[in-house]
């Protein structure tokens, strides 16, 4: 029987490392990726089809419940929530037999949760899990419908606040603790990490093509292979951007196998 495929979703790098280390010590699973934001988690769940997802409840942008709403309860893998949530939510998890790990994570609790998640996958209990998850969301007052996304970006640039619709953004480049946002032949320098900016962008429109670059896929004119097995992304205005091999999968939902 194939090992269950696991995705780790948490906005804290230390928490992701802790979960990964425990999974690697336990063995018997295939870790298919890590996500630091809800939006990248939605994309990863759709593209990588994990069997189990360790899902942080509290994240900026889309939180864990928003991720479930965006993917759809019926399409969600088995979920182990990772949370520092309040007592009401923890009671709801317990009542509906939806597993969770309370931060800081206890090793014994982690082992039990992993064992139950494996059984849920192997015993084909997906439908029962979906029912429990729907019931828990209802008790918490969380609608199982996708959250309405605000397409506006509020960018602080040299003492002023610029309001842009994200459709106006061509591409973004990390510059240390700043992000340079390119729009309509101009650029804005914003004091914000690229990862946080990424969490505000629509994953259906934007793709990360390099650790320091995000592009509006509607602006792409062509993908150009290079002699060194790397590739370039050419925008409609002629801008040439490097496509890192480790981020090629991000373009598959938009262009297929490239």
Q: Of 177, 57, 81, give the one whose Cα is nearest residue 129.
A: 81
pLDDT-based confidence at residue 148 (cuts at 50, 70, 90): low
Which SS3 state, helix, strand or coil, does residue 37 take?
coil
pLDDT-based confidence at residue 59 (cuts at 50, 70, 90): confident
**Positive or negative torsion for Cα 63, 65, 71, 75:** positive
In this predicted structure, what is the pLDDT of residue 5? Answer: 96
* Arch. (CATH architecture) of 5-139: 3-Layer(aba) Sandwich (3.40)
Q: Residues of the chain with pLDDT > 70: what percent?
A: 88
Q: What is the DSSP letter of 2?
A: P
Question: What's the pLDDT tens digit per position in 151-183?
Answer: 677 787 777 788 888 889 999 999 988 999 999
Residues in CB range of 121: below 8 A, 6 or more apart:
4, 51, 52, 78
List the chain domain ranges. 5-139, 152-255
Q: Residue 189 burial (CB < 10 Å; 0-12/13-18/19+)? A: middle
Question: What one-character-per-residue DSSP string does 89-143 give?
Answer: HHHHHHHTT--EEESSPPHHHHHHHHHHHHHHHHTT-HHHHHHHHHHHHHHTT--
- As a whole number of angstroms, the distance between CA 254 and CA 231 comes to 16
In this predicted structure, what is the pLDDT of residue 120? Answer: 85
Residues in CB range of 93: below 8 A, 6 or more apart:
81, 99, 100, 136
Sheet hosting strand 178-183, strand order edge to edge: 186-190, 178-183, 171-175, 213-216, 206-210
In this predicted structure, what is the pLDDT of residue 137? Answer: 84
- As a whole number of angstroms, the distance between CA 138 and CA 144 comes to 8
The pTM of this model reads 0.58
What is 152-255's CATH number?
A: 2.40.50.1020
In this predicted structure, what is the pLDDT of residue 92? Answer: 65
- As a whole number of angstroms, the distance between CA 183 and CA 77 comes to 38
In this predicted structure, what is the pLDDT of residue 87? Answer: 65
In this predicted structure, what is the pLDDT of residue 175? Answer: 93
In this predicted structure, what is the pLDDT of residue 109? Answer: 92
Question: What's the pLDDT tens digit per position in 223-254?
Answer: 888 777 678 999 999 999 999 887 877 777 67
pLDDT > 70? residue 88:
no
């Amino acid at each position: 029987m194939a090992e269950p495929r696991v995705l780790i979703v948490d906005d804290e790098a230390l928490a992701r490392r802790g979960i990964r280390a425990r999974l690697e010590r336990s063995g018997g699973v295939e870790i298919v990726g890590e996500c630091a934001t809800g939006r990248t988690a939605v994309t990863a769940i759709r593209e990588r089809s994990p069997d189990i997802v360790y899902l942080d409840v509290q994240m900026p942008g889309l939180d864990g419940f928003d991720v479930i709403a965006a993917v759809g309860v019926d399409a969600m893998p088995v979920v182990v929530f990772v949370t520092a949530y309040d007592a009401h939510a923890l009671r709801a998890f317990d009542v509906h037999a939806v597993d969770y790990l309370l931060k800081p994570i206890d090793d014994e609790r982690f082992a039990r949760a992993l064992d139950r998640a494996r059984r849920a996958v192997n015993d084909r209990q997906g439908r029962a899990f979906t029912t429990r998850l729907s019931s828990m969301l209802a008790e918490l007052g969380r609608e199982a419908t996708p959250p309405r996304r605000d397409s506006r970006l509020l960018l602080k640039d040299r003492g002023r606040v610029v309001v842009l619709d994200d459709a106006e953004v061509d591409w973004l480049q990390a510059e240390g603790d700043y992000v340079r946002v390119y729009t309509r032949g101009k650029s804005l320098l914003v004091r914000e990490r690229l990862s946080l900016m990424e969490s505000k962008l629509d994953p259906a429109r934007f793709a990360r093509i390099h650790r320091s670059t995000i592009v509006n896929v509607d602006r792409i004119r062509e993908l150009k292979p290079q002699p060194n097995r790397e590739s370039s992304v050419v925008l409609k205005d002629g801008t040439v951007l490097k496509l890192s091999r480790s981020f090629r999968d991000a373009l598959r939902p938009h262009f297929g196998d490239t």
